[in-house]
Amino acid sequence: MDQQLPSAEITALLGRGTEFDGKLVFEGRVRIDGKFRGEIRSEDTLVVGDGAEVTAEIEVSTVIVKGGVVHGNIRARTSIELYAPGKVIGNLQSPSLFIERGVEFQGNCRMDSGEPSSGAGIPVIAAPSKPIAKV
């Protein structure tokens, strides 16, 4: 029988002090607090914990960086959330993006689903919802 897991339950953990090189494909919610190098693919959620060192090309539904360092491009079909004291060096692509004050981000951001469109190749720039100054 296929049981539904609570949405916040961690189904796998790469804990502190562990290292893994390779390709990670998973279902559910996976948290990395150790060192990971390689490729990560899933239709579900990846959580990068405080102290993690991830060097990977990431393509998942949702990425939550709660700390640690991520080197590599992140493509999320649903959302990307970056929380301090996290650090991301790489390009981000997702229809929804949250970056908390204090996060270090170096790279480019594209806020779309990644699906081809008639304006392909034109970068999407997120603008503030309120004008900064009135002229």
Flag whether 67 is in a domain.
Answer: yes
Give dist(CA 52, CA 81) in Å, integer.
Answer: 16
What is the extent of the structural domain holding 73? 12-110
Contact 73, 67 (CB under 8 A): no
Ranking 28-32, 64-68, 126-130 by mean pLDDT, the lowest is 126-130
Q: What pLDDT sits at residue 114? A: 58
Domains contained in the chain, number: 1
Contact by Cβ (8 Å): 102, 85 = yes
18, pLDDT greater than 70 = yes
User: Could you tell me which residue, 30 or 9, shows the higher pLDDT?
Assistant: 30
